[in-house]
Each structure stands twice: as structure tokens, then as C-alpha cells.
């Protein structure tokens, strides 16, 4: 609202917001509104019926308030999705920050930066499904790692937790999404005035102190933007969790996917609304920590 107001004060920029607003309206506001509306509709096997009922939401939280039973499906699913989200987030920050730091401060030649960056995109050179199926020969029961472990005498039985487990899910996520962390952090880092770093070392700061007190605070916007990318992608993912988790690990995305396949659009819409709400809550929390708009 604030931004719109600011723009309208200087007439010169008025028309510039139109294309963006149109894209935002047609590809975000309208679809999300439709999802919210449909989430209150009724449905049968073959049709959806305009209505205003809360049944779709009630069914999601059914059993959740019954404390004698185990945790209900919805909470369990959200819990496991959040755990994977958190682990992926931590690892992508650690790895992404390190790589971005290296690219920004240790590589000075432009062509080498581009070459190294292209190497970072290798995980995206094949299709998602093929990429994930390719993990089997590496991590599987008869895979390369197990063969090495057994032949070196470290273990006597094949290690089954390497594949179709929480481990393999997080591994695949980190492999895929670290790039989304690298780019915004790199962006923040190259904006850092080199004289600040010189000033830090002139004032007697060692490398760690420079890192903690100069580079990390100034890279925060990049870290937050990267985190938003990673968190929103992981929260909605169902293909990676499905394939790498052997489809034995529930995810919110998978529940929505199954309901869509069975034409239960209103139920899927209700789940999607809750998912959007949860994700927005996380992002809201992050933007509370740092004001991205100001930092950009």
C-alpha cells in the first residue's frame, strides 16, 4: 500500500506499476482468491458444487483436538514438513553462504566467476525425476557407497538409511536448492563496499571478526531472500519427498496432490489455504527480523 502511495505522488512513475500490478493480479491475486472460494465448496466424485460449508476445514483438523489419540494426520504431516524445511534451510545457508563468499571474495576473474556459477547449476541440467532416480545407484542397498563401506570393512551389512529415508530427502533438497541461496547472498556480498573490509583489517580485525561483524550483517538481506526461496519451495514440495522418501514420508504437498487426483478440489483447496497461511506466517516472521525493503 505504502509503495503504491509513494509512486502515485510522482505522476511520472504511475504507468510503470501497471504491468507489474496486472501480472500480480492475474497470476497471483485471482488464483489465490479462487482457491479460497473453492475451499468452501462441496464436492462429489465428479463435480464441485458451489456452496458455503466448513466441512473441508473440519475434516482437516478432525481428531486434532482429541488428546487421548496420537497426533492427528494434519499436525503430524506439518511437523514432518517443518522439520525437513528447517534442516534444509540450515544446510543450504551454511553451504550457500560459503560458496557465495568464495565466489565474491576469492574469485576475482569475471570468466572464472561465470564458469564456477555454471558449475553450481549442474543439478538443474537434467529433469527432476531422472536426477532423483539417479540417487539409487549411489545410495541404494547395492549402491556405490554401500559397496565402498562393505569392501573397506567399515560395516558388514548394507546401510539402508542412506536411501528412502529422512537423510536422503534432506540430501536431495540441499543438492537442489543451495543455488537459490547462493545467488541472493552473492548479490548482497558484491554490494559490500570493499573499503569497509579494508577498514576492518586496518582497525586490526582478524578474518573471523570481519566475517562476523561486517560481512554477515551486510549479507543478511541476501540470506533472508534465499531463505524465503528455499522455505516456500520445500513447504510445497511433494515430488522430492515422494521419490527420495520412498513415498513413505507424508508431506502437505502430497496430500493436496492425492486429493487433486481424486478430483476432491475443494478439500485440496482447503489444504492449500492452510499451507499458504503457514508459509506466509514463516515468511512474516523472517521479515520481522529484517526489513528487506529497506535493505534493498
- Does the footprint of another protein cover residue 126 (CB under 8 A)? no
Q: Which stretch binds another protein (CB under 8 A): 7-15, 86-94, 209-217, 261-269?
A: 261-269
Give dist(CA 225, CA 212) in Å, integer.
19
* 35 alpha-carbon distance from chain centroid: 21
Give the start-end residues of each E strand in 156-199: none
- Does the footprint of another protein cover residue 247 (CB under 8 A)? yes
Give dist(CA 37, CA 15) in Å, integer.
31
Q: Which residues lie across from 42 on neighbouring strands?
A: 49
Which CB atom, from 9 or from 69, has the smaller least distance to another protein?
69
Residue recorded with cell 561486517: 214
CB contact at 8 A, 88 and 282 = no
CB contact at 8 A, 93 and 181 = yes
- Residue from 2, 152, 203, 248 that binds another protein (CB under 8 A)? 248
Question: Minimal distance in Å, beta carbon 14 to another protein?
Answer: 27
| Overall residue count recorded for the chain in this entry | 296
Q: Which stretch binds another protein (CB under 8 A): 88-96, 200-208, 240-248, 283-291?
A: 240-248
Question: Minimal distance in Å, beta carbon 253 to another protein?
Answer: 12
Give dist(CA 123, CA 172) in Å, integer.
10
Residue of 238, 244, 241 lying closest to 271 (CA atoms):
238
Residue of 272, 271, 100 lying closest to 186 (CA atoms):
100
- Does the footprint of another protein cover residue 254 (CB under 8 A)? yes
50-59 burial: b if 16+ Cβ within 10 Å, else e? eeeeeebbee
Torsion angle in degrees (nearest 10) through CA of 136, 161, 174, 231: 120
Map residues 160-199 to x or -, x wherever contact with another protein holds by CB under 8 A: x--xx--------------xx--x--xx--x---------
- Residue from 39, 77, 88, 279 that binds another protein (CB under 8 A)? 77
Which CB atom, from 148 or from 190, has the smaller least distance to another protein?
190
- Does the footprint of another protein cover residue 141 (CB under 8 A)? yes
Question: Minimal distance in Å, beta carbon 208 to another protein?
Answer: 25
- Residue from 21, 33, 98, 142 that binds another protein (CB under 8 A)? 142
Footprint on this chain of another protein (rule: CB under 8 A) = 45-47, 59, 73, 76-77, 80, 110, 113-114, 117-118, 121, 124, 129, 133, 136-137, 140-143, 160, 163-164, 179-180, 183, 186-187, 190, 242-243, 246-250, 254-255, 258-264, 267
Amino acid at each position: 500500500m505504502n509503495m503504491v502511495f509513494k509512486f502515485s505522488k510522482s505522476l511520472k512513475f504511475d504507468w510503470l506499476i501497471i504491468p507489474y500490478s496486472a501480472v500480480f493480479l492475474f497470476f497471483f491475486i485471482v488464483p489465490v482468491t479462487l482457491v479460497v472460494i473453492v475451499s468452501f465448496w462441496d464436492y462429489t466424485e465428479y463435480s464441485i458444487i458451489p456452496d458455503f460449508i466448513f466441512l473441508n476445514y473440519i475434516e482437516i483438523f478432525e481428531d486434532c483436538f482429541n488428546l487421548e489419540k496420537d497426533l492427528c494426520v494434519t499436525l503430524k504431516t506439518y511437523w514432518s514438513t517443518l522439520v525437513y524445511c528447517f534442516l534444509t534451510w540450515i544446510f543450504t545457508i551454511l553451504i550457500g553462504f560459503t560458496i557465495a563468499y568464495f565466489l565474491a571474495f576469492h574469485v576475482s576473474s569475471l570468466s572464472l566467476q561465470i564458469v564456477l556459477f555454471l558449475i553450481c547449476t549442474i543439478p538443474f541440467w537434467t529433469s527432476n525425476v531422472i536426477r532423483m532416480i539417479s540417487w539409487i545407484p549411489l545410495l541404494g542397498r547395492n549402491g556405490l557407497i554401500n559397496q565402498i563401506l562393505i569392501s573397506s570393512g567399515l560395516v558388514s551389512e548394507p546401510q539402508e538409511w542412506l536411501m528412502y529415508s529422512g537423510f536422503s530427502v534432506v540430501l536431495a533438497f540441499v543438492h537442489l536448492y543451495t543455488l537459490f541461496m547462493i545467488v541472493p547472498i552473492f548479490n548482497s556480498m558484491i554490494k559490500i563496499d570493499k573499503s569497509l573490509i579494508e577498514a576492518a583489517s586496518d582497525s586490526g580485525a582478524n578474518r573471523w571478526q570481519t566475517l562476523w561483524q561486517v560481512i554477515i550483517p551486510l549479507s543478511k538481506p541476501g540470506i533472508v531472500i534465499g531463505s524465503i526461496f528455499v522455505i516456500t519451495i520445500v513447504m510445497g514440495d511433494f515430488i522430492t519427498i515422494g521419490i527420495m522418501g520412498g513415498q513413505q514420508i507424508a508431506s502437505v504437498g502430497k496430500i493436496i496432490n492425492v486429493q487433486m487426483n481424486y478430483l476432491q478440489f475443494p478439500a485440496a483447496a482447503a489444504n492449500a489455504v492452510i499451507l499458504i497461511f503457514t508459509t506466509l506466517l514463516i515468511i512474516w516472521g523472517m521479515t520481522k527480523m529484517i526489513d528487506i525493503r529497506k535493505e534493498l
